Chains A and B, each alone.
Chain A
């Protein structure tokens, strides 16, 4: 039972354009959402988060949008850079401490 789903295993974008990564969830008890970025042979690093009381959070080139009625969130990267090429994981929390529910990940490739 996958409570957090990233339906696109991969995404290829041209440098300078917008990258949009999507994530869907099923559990309405989730109240906090995070995006992590992972390079090969490294652990995931935190990118950006959003509380369920907000619908948008912005940090530099990264913006996360939350649509609670659709149980959908998305990560926008503008402009995309080759260094953004990595696997992006969406994660959700129901405030049970260190337990996060992760999606399967989307591999982003930004081509020069």
Chain B
């Protein structure tokens, strides 16, 4: 069974641009969550999607948005990039949210904003 796949692995953008990151969950998993990892901050929850609906949202500005498609694949978008958005963005999936089932993470997209 293939794991969680994130593309691209690395991305370099400049301030003011926008970026779209992609995540394909494990086959059969319908819940996708996104996290931002920065040095010293751990992983910060961005949002979670289940059956194409956003079920939960973290404390990030509206520049951060996401969506989920009918095949459970998810995209995350950041508009008007700022230097502080430089981070590793991780996507995770699980089969049934709300059951304390563990999350499976992808390798992440390393975003650098110059």
Contacts and interface: CB of A to CB of B under 8 A. Distances in A.
Physical interaction between A and B: yes
Interface of A: 4, 6, 9, 31-32, 34, 36, 41-46, 49, 51, 89, 91, 93, 95-105
Contact of A97 (B4, B31, B106): B31
22 contacts: A6-B42, A31-B100, A34-B102, A43-B105, A43-B107, A44-B43, A45-B105, A46-B103, A95-B100, A97-B31, A97-B48, A97-B50, A98-B31, A98-B32, A98-B55, A98-B56, A98-B92, A98-B97, A98-B103, A99-B48, A99-B56, A100-B43
Nearest to A51: B100
Interface residues of B, number: 29
Interface string B28-41: 00011101000011
B107 A99 contact: no
Contacts of A100: 33, 43, 45, 103
